[in-house]
């Protein structure tokens, strides 16, 4: 290939400061070093997490930063010691890495590889990407709103040759997160009742997971009624806007579901909705899973102690509990085997140059997932 070993100049959507629009800039992407992979990004989704983060002051010390973390592409070249992918492979970017060597990867049942610290620092391959002479960070150690990127081998997995990349990019975060929260984290049981708060791409994926697990009733809750039609398409049996009710939504749900839901999911990202979702669970056995990345890390969740004078469980879920490098490619294969449909989740398709339009579509609540093509 003509580009191997050379610096690639290409486009990226860069955030120079919080709350600013994304700037489409030329970046320089250096060749990958040991255990790194350079990827030609073919499609990338925009997630609610990108949108929320872009407006937080915490991102200011990381700017300039390439946003995006739901990416797929083709390996352009690999550094030394890379053994799991090679040039020409179709790959999915993993915003939660799996190193295969840390205590979590080797022993534990959870999926939080200790290399997640790269994600918190927003560094994938330090110093490999520059713009106007400045080092550029990569959001959640990925930064997929670009034409080429360099990331660690532990943050990328090979997927089937025949995969339509423009569809499966959203498996990289939104779909895997929601679907896995139902299947792996909550372990939704056949015949159960489920309530999903927040009907974005992640919440709708929770509904798909609840349905696949055999839930009998799936209640979809959002303050934007425009989301209800899609929720019904993917499996919701009842939709409700809490603002239309005369009593608090948890009281409404406890009455409707004979004491509360078996499983509730917080997928709005609001701290207040956590207590609401927990309070909507059945007091003796209800399980509440928090998925929404609850705003800033300094936020506190206010939960009345009476909610725990019984047997409720409150738990968190990161990237749907999947051990990413092993299991995300299997999810892609499941998509190819038609075990679930991603079409209802992709409401818009634009180009990388239209990244700001995609951000606005997400902010206005009109969009489930917008996939950006080069
Ligand atoms: P989104 O913005 O598309 O969807 C959020 C939905 O919540 C929208 O439909 C809103 O209208 C709705 N909503 C907002 N406030 C309320 C409220 N008070 N009551 C009911 N509904 C409300 O985002 P998304 O689906 O891409 O992501 C959802 C959250 O999940 C977001 O906080 C994101 O940061 C988080 C997330 N977590 C992980 C993880 O691994 N834990 C991964 C990916 C995304
Ligand atoms: Zn995401």
Q: For residue 199, which ligand has an atom nearest its CA? A: 1
Give dist(CA 238, CA 118) in Å, integer.
40
Q: For residue 320, which ligand has an atom nearest its CA? A: 1
Question: Within 13 Å of residue 98, how many CA atoms lie on the same side as its CB?
Answer: 25
pTM of the predicted protein model: 0.97
Give dist(CA 228, CA 89) in Å, integer.
38
pLDDT-derived band at 296 (thresholds 50, 70, 90) equals low
The DSSP letter of residue 303 is -
Q: Which two tokens stand for residue 264?
A: 């509730």
Q: Which residues contact 208 (CB under 8 A, 6 or more apart)?
A: 175, 178, 179, 182, 234, 235, 340
pLDDT-derived band at 84 (thresholds 50, 70, 90) equals very high
- Mean pLDDT, residues 127-155: 95
Average pLDDT of the chain?
Answer: 95
Q: Which two tokens stand for residue 266?
A: 């917080």
- Please name which of 197, 162, 161, 155 lies closest in space to residue 70, comparing C-alpha atoms: 155
CB of 62 closer than 8 Å to CB of 122: yes
- H-helix or E-strand spanning residue 279: helix 271-279
Protein residues whose CB sits closer than 6 Å to any atom of ligand 1: 47-49, 52, 173-174, 177, 197-203, 221-224, 227, 267-270, 273, 291-293, 317-319, 365
**Which ligand 1 atom is the nearest neighbour of the CA of 204?**
25
Strand 23-29's sheet: what is its strand order?
134-135, 129-131, 23-29, 8-15, 65-66, 137-138
- Strands 8-15 and 23-29, sheet pairing: antiparallel
Cis bond before residue 347 (omega within 30° of 0): no
Architecture of domain 177-320: 3-Layer(aba) Sandwich (3.40)
Q: Which residues contact 110 (CB under 8 A, 6 or more apart)?
A: 104, 321
- H-helix or E-strand spanning residue 48: helix 48-54
CB of 66 closer than 8 Å to CB of 149: yes
Residue among 44, 45, 47 whose CB has most ligand 1 atoms within 8 A, to mutate: 47
Q: Which residue's alpha carbon is nearest to atom 3 within ligand 1?
A: 200
Residue 7: per-residue pLDDT: 97
Q: How many CB atoms lie within 10 A of CB 184?
A: 21
| pLDDT exceeds cutoff 60 at 1 | no
Give dist(CA 210, CA 212) in Å, integer.
5
Residue among 71, 142, 144, 198 whose CB has most ligand 1 atoms within 8 A, to mutate: 198
The full length of the chain comes to: 374
- Mean pLDDT, residues 101-121: 89
Distances (CA, A) of 253 to 7, 210, 303: 57, 17, 18
Helix, strand, coil distribution of the chain in percent, nearest 5: 35, 25, 40
Annotate 89-132 with DSSP letters as a single string: -EEEE-SS---SSSHHHHT-SS---TTHHHHHHT-SSTTSEEET
Residue among 205, 292, 321 whose CB has most ligand 1 atoms within 8 A, to mutate: 292
Q: What is the pLDDT of residues 229-248, one digit of tens each?
A: 999 999 999 999 999 999 99
Distances (CA, A) of 346 to 47, 267, 313, 366: 11, 18, 32, 12
Distances (CA, A) of 332 to 90, 326, 337: 11, 11, 9
Measured in Å, residue 3 CA sits from the centre of ligand 2 at: 30
- Mean pLDDT, residues 302-326: 94
Q: Which residue's alpha carbon is nearest to atom 35 within ligand 1?
A: 292
Give dist(CA 53, CA 31) in Å, integer.
28
- Strands 346-351 and 369-373, sheet pairing: parallel
- Mean pLDDT, residues 351-363: 97
| pLDDT exceeds cutoff 90 at 9 | yes
| pLDDT exceeds cutoff 70 at 273 | yes
Give dist(CA 266, CA 221) in Å, integer.
10
Residue among 59, 174, 185, 202 whose CB has most ligand 1 atoms within 8 A, to mutate: 202
Q: Which residue's alpha carbon is nearest to atom 1 within ligand 1?
A: 200
Measured in Å, residue 176 CA sits from the centre of ligand 2 at: 9
- Strands 65-66 and 129-131, sheet pairing: unpaired
Tell me what percent of the residues of the chain surpass a pLDDT of 90: 90
Measured in Å, residue 27 CA sits from the centre of ligand 1 at: 31
Instruction: Give the three-state DSSP class for 283.
Output: coil
Measured in Å, residue 289 CA sits from the centre of ligand 1 at: 13
**Which ligand 1 atom is the nearest neighbour of the CA of 291?**
41
| pLDDT exceeds cutoff 90 at 298 | no
**Which ligand 1 atom is the nearest neighbour of the CA of 199?**
9
CB of 329 closer than 8 Å to CB of 72: no
| pLDDT exceeds cutoff 90 at 123 | no
Measured in Å, residue 51 CA sits from the centre of ligand 2 at: 10
Q: Which residue's alpha carbon is nearest to atom 34 within ligand 1?
A: 49
Measured in Å, residue 249 CA sits from the centre of ligand 1 at: 18
């Amino acid at each position: 290939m003509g580009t191997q070993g050379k610096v690639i100049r290409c486009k990226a959507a860069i955030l120079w400061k919080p709350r600013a629009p994304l700037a489409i800039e030329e970046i320089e992407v250096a060749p990958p070093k040991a255990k790194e992979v350079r990827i030609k990004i073919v499609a990338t989704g925009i997630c609610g997490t990108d949108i929320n983060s872009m407006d937080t002051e915490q991102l200011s010390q990381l700017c300039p930063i390439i946003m995006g973390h739901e990416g797929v592409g083709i390996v352009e070249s690999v550094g030394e010691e890379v053994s799991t992918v090679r040039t020409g492979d179709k790959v999915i970017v993993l915003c939660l890495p799996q190193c295969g060597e840390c205590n979590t990867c080797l022993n534990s049942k959870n999926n939080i590889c200790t290399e997640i610290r790269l994600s918190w620092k927003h560094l994938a391959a330090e110093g490999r990407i520059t713009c106007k002479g400045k080092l550029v960070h990569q959001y959640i150690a990925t930064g997929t709103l670009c034409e080429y990127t360099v990331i660690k081998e532990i943050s990328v997995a090979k997927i089937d040759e025949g995969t339509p990349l423009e569809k499966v990019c959203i498996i990289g975060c939104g779909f895997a997160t929601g679907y896995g929260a139902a299947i792996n984290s909550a372990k939704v049981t056949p015949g159960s009742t489920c309530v999903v708060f927040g009907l974005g791409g992640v919440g709708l994926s929770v509904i798909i997971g609840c349905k696949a697990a055999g839930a009998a009733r799936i209640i979809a809750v959002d303050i934007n009624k425009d989301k209800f039609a899609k929720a019904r398409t993917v499996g919701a049996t009842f939709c409700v806007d809490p603002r239309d009710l005369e009593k608090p939504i948890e009281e409404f749900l406890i009455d409707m579901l004979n004491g509360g839901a078996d499983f509730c999911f917080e997928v709005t990202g609001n701290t207040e909705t956590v207590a609401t979702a927990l309070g909507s669970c059945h007091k003796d056995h209800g399980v509440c899973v928090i998925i929404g990345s609850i705003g800033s890390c300094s936020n506190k969740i206010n939960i009345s102690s009476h909610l725990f004078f019984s047997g409720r469980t409150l738990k968190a879920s990161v990237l749907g509990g999947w051990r990413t490098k092993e299991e995300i490619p299997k999810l892609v294969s499941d998509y190819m085997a038609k075990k679930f449909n991603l079409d209802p989740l992709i409401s818009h398709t634009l180009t990388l140059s239209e990244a700001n339009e995609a951000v606005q579509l997400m902010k206005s609540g009109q969009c489930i997932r917008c996939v950006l093509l080069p």
